């Protein structure tokens, strides 16, 4: 327990449930902090606002056991939650993991924890608390807390803004199509599907350069563009051919691929794209513009975009 | 959507999933705030620290459908999470609800939301975000955020402190025993089981009067006393006959009844119990004392307490 003590955890009681918690804490080492009280205690830096989001990854809904390793499931769940902090241009302060754990997954706890821990470390986000419960399906509900002086909201897009998207789209959708048809995705597509990267530093860089609005592309570019358009009461015009995409994916597929965790950002002025690319090793592409609301939320090449997006309850 | 607009929510997209979110927001009215962005934005009052906890209530683990109404399930899940803020003597700032919703529960969403909303209102805690996912079993993962100048921790108990417990114990355990044996619990026991009340104001009152440590009694008095003892590296001595209990429950049953959501508090000096009782309409009872660690975490009437507590994975 020396690692645990270094991290300021409280001593844990005996029993199988706490043994599982000990497995998590051993795997996380110093990435977990102050575990074991009724609640975590954190400090939001002076002058910053608190940003909070909770995001669930559920077996059979968000992932399938035969598609992803336990480590990937853990990393992806953490990344999906942290991506919401990126969309707000917030710096991570802490993460809480509520794990619903069926008996059939108990042996995989260490590997799940490894994936969560690696993503937490990559994003500089300590793991400060959580909850462990029996369940009939595996679920990871990740709550992330962050701080920022000026949150970047969906509602800030203004006519005249240019729309930029980070990265290249279409990989997760292509991987999903391959998996669903029983064929093997390309290595690159599978990496995009299994190991997405929250664009935290990229978002803060863009926010510092005056970004008006942002959203992370979890439902697909067109669906999330519609969220920004509605929230900002504007029309978003997207040039489909300009949407950056991975190999062997059509512009339409790229524009509707979900779980990208790239960012769509409305910028009031042109961005120094080469500086962004050289700093982050990540594409940044102008794909359209913000117009006064003309009766349509999103236009693609001038035509109204069809309704898009995943709907778990449709 | 006028209620939603009053509360500063963003406009929501179309579709069955967002229709369910609209049901939640309609039910919550102004108790929900600023829903619809990638994350919630909150402010921790100047000079206060952020306290955060996440707590899951899972069908078949924490409740059964035939035991509780959907409204009670919602209220109880929110109360269990808010009770962790009480244990830290924190004031609620916001709540996020991640709902795992099976098809068989979809018609009950409004009633579940009503229970969550009533508890949020009772505790002065706005609902600031959440997540909605399909699932095969109903689960409510509630994350609560609070603020406090001086968090009350499990680790602060000192030799010489007096141990106090709020309320009367044993009701939830008695209700559970009745339900499990197929008989009807008493109305009072069932109320304690189905509608627990987080002791938020009570905790702050005790913290202002110098409390050294607190824990909420979710695992049972003796099990949670052991948590305090281990965290504080002391021995807790409990006088079993002094444990306040509901009617027709033995002291032993009261001391091991889980999901009480009362508080066990270590106080350095005697408390004005009549002032507490008249202010909160809630009992406060001295049940023991804190001693230097003598090799046992908890002693009951001088004898080592047997290992206690719920263990979902035992």
B228-277 residue pLDDT tens? 999 999 999 999 999 999 999 999 999 999 999 999 999 999 999 999 99
CB contact under 8 A, A52 and B94: yes
Pair B290, B159: CB distance under 8 Å: yes
Question: Is residue A157's pLDDT more than 70?
Answer: yes
Residue A99: name the closest of B96, B139, B74, B80 by CA: B139
Pair A214, A152: CB distance under 8 Å: yes
pLDDT at A10: 81
Pairing mode, strands B91-101 and B139-148: antiparallel
Question: Is residue A218's pLDDT more than 50?
Answer: yes
Question: Is residue B207's pLDDT more than 50?
Answer: yes
Share of chain A above pLDDT 70, in %: 95
Pair B62, B172: CB distance under 8 Å: no
Pair A240, A168: CB distance under 8 Å: no
pLDDT at A290: 98
Residue to test with chain B: of A4, A52, A55, most B Cβ within 10 A: A52
Mean pLDDT in chain B?
93
What is the radius of gyration, based on Cα positions, of chain B?
Answer: 20
Whether A82 and chain B come into contact, CB under 8 Å, resolves to no
The pLDDT confidence band at residue B67, using thresholds 50, 70 and 90, is very high
Q: What is the mean pLDDT of residues A113-134?
A: 97
Residue to test with chain B: of A23, A37, A221, most B Cβ within 10 A: A37
Nearest-CB residue to B37 (from A56, A58, A154): A154
CB contact under 8 A, B39 and A223: no
Count of alpha carbons within 13 angstroms of residue A241, beta-carbon side: 2
Q: Which residue has the tokens 């804490």?
A: A25
Q: What is the mean pLDDT of residues A99-107?
A: 95
Pair A95, A125: CB distance under 8 Å: yes
Q: What is the mean pLDDT of residues A231-259?
A: 96
Nearest-CB residue to A51 (from B14, B39, B223): B39
pLDDT at A18: 84
B21-45 residue pLDDT tens? 999 999 999 999 988 888 999 999 9
B95-136 residue pLDDT tens? 999 999 999 999 999 999 999 999 999 999 999 999 999 999
User: Three-class SS string for B191-249?
Assistant: HHHHCCCCCHHHHHHHHHCCCCEEEECCCCHHHHHHHHHHHHCEEEEECHHHCCECCCC
User: Three-class SS string for chain B?
Assistant: CHHHHHCCCCCCCCCHHHHHHHHHHHHHHHHECCCCCCCEEECCCCCCEEEEEEEEEEECCCECCCCCCHHHHHHHHHHHHHHHHHHCCCEEEEEEEEEEECHHHHHHHHHHHHHHHHHHHHCCCCEEEEEEEECCCCEEEEEEEEEECCCCCHHHCCCCCEEEEECCECHHHHHHHHHHCCCCCCHHHHHHHHCCCCCHHHHHHHHHCCCCEEEECCCCHHHHHHHHHHHHCEEEEECHHHCCECCCCCHHHHHHCCCCCCEEEEECCCCCHHHHHHHHCCCEEEEEEEEECCCCCEEECCEECCCCCCCCCC
CB < 8 Å from B in window 7-46 of A: 10-17, 19-20, 36-44
pLDDT at A5: 40
CB contact under 8 A, B128 and A154: no
Nearest CA distance, A44 vs chain B (angstrom): 7
C-alpha to C-alpha distance for A114 and B261, rounded to whole angstroms: 33
CB < 8 Å from B in window 151-170 of A: 151, 153-155
Q: What is the mean pLDDT of residues A103-118?
A: 96
pLDDT at A313: 67
pLDDT at B36: 85
pLDDT at A95: 98
Q: Which residues of A touch B147 (CB under 8 A)?
A: none
pLDDT at B11: 81
Q: Which residues of B touch A215 (CB under 8 A)?
A: 38
pLDDT at A36: 85
Mean pLDDT in chain A?
93
Question: Is residue B227's pLDDT more than 70?
Answer: yes
The pLDDT confidence band at residue B6, using thresholds 50, 70 and 90, is very low
Residue to test with chain B: of A5, A10, A39, A130, most B Cβ within 10 A: A39
Nearest CA distance, B287 vs chain A (angstrom): 21
Q: How far is CA B14 from CA B21, B109, B135, B193, in A?
A: 11, 18, 21, 38
Question: Is residue B12's pLDDT more than 90?
Answer: no
CB contact under 8 A, B314 and A11: no
pLDDT at A215: 97
C-alpha to C-alpha distance for B240 and B243, rounded to whole angstroms: 6
Pair B77, B140: CB distance under 8 Å: yes
C-alpha to C-alpha distance for A93 and A128, rounded to whole angstroms: 9
B265-313 residue pLDDT tens? 999 999 999 999 999 999 999 999 999 999 999 999 999 998 765 565 6
The pLDDT confidence band at residue B5, using thresholds 50, 70 and 90, is very low
Pair B236, B286: CB distance under 8 Å: no
CB contact under 8 A, A230 and B10: yes
A60-90 residue pLDDT tens? 988 899 999 999 999 999 999 999 999 999 9
- Write the ipTM: 0.93
Question: Is residue A7's pLDDT more than 70?
Answer: no
pLDDT at A94: 98
pLDDT at A128: 97
b (16+ CB within 10 A) / e for A178-195: bbeeeeebeeebbbbbbb
The pLDDT confidence band at residue A13, using thresholds 50, 70 and 90, is confident
Nearest CA distance, B101 vs chain A (angstrom): 10
CB < 8 Å from A in window 86-145 of B: 87-88, 90, 93-94, 96-98, 100-101, 106, 128-137, 139, 141, 143-145
CB < 8 Å from B in window 256-295 of A: none
Question: Is residue A28's pLDDT more than 60?
Answer: yes
Four-residue CA torsion sign, B173, B178, B182, B184: negative
């Amino acid at each position: 327990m020396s690692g645990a003590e270094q991290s300021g955890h409280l001593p844990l009681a005996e029993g199988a449930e706490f043994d599982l918690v000990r497995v998590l804490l051993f795997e996380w080492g110093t990435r977990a902090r102050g575990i074991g009280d009724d609640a975590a205690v954190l400090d939001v830096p002076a002058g910053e606002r608190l940003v909070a989001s909770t995001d669930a990854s559920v077996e059979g809904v968000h992932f399938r056991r035969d598609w992803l390793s336990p480590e990937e499931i853990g990393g992806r769940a953490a990344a999906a939650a942290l991506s919401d902090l990126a969309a707000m241009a917030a710096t991570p302060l802490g993460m809480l993991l509520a794990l619903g754990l069926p008996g059939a997954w108990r042996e995989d706890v260490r590997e799940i924890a490894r994936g969560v821990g690696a993503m937490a470390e990559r994003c500089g986000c300590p793991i400060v608390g959580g909850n462990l419960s029996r369940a009939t399906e595996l679920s990871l509900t990740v709550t992330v807390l962050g701080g920022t002086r000026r949150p970047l909201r969906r509602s800030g897009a203004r006519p005249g803004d240019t729309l930029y998207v980070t990265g290249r789209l279409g990989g997760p959708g292509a991987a999903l199509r391959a998996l669903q048809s029983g064929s093997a995705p390309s290595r690159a597509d599978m990496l995009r599907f299994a190991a997405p990267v929250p664009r935290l530093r990229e978002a803060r860089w863009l926010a510092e350069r005056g970004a008006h609005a942002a959203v992370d592309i979890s439902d697909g570019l067109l669906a999330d563009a519609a969220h920004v358009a509605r929230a900002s009461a504007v029309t978003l015009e997207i040039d489909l051919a300009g949407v950056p995409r991975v190999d062997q994916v059509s512009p339409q597929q790229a524009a509707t691929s979900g779980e990208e965790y790239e960012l769509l950002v409305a910028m009031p002025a042109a961005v120094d794209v080469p500086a962004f690319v050289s700093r982050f090793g990540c594409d940044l592409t102008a794909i359209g513009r913000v117009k006064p609301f003309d009766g349509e939320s999103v236009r693609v090449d001038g035509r109204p975009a069809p309704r898009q997006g995943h709907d778990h309850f449709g």
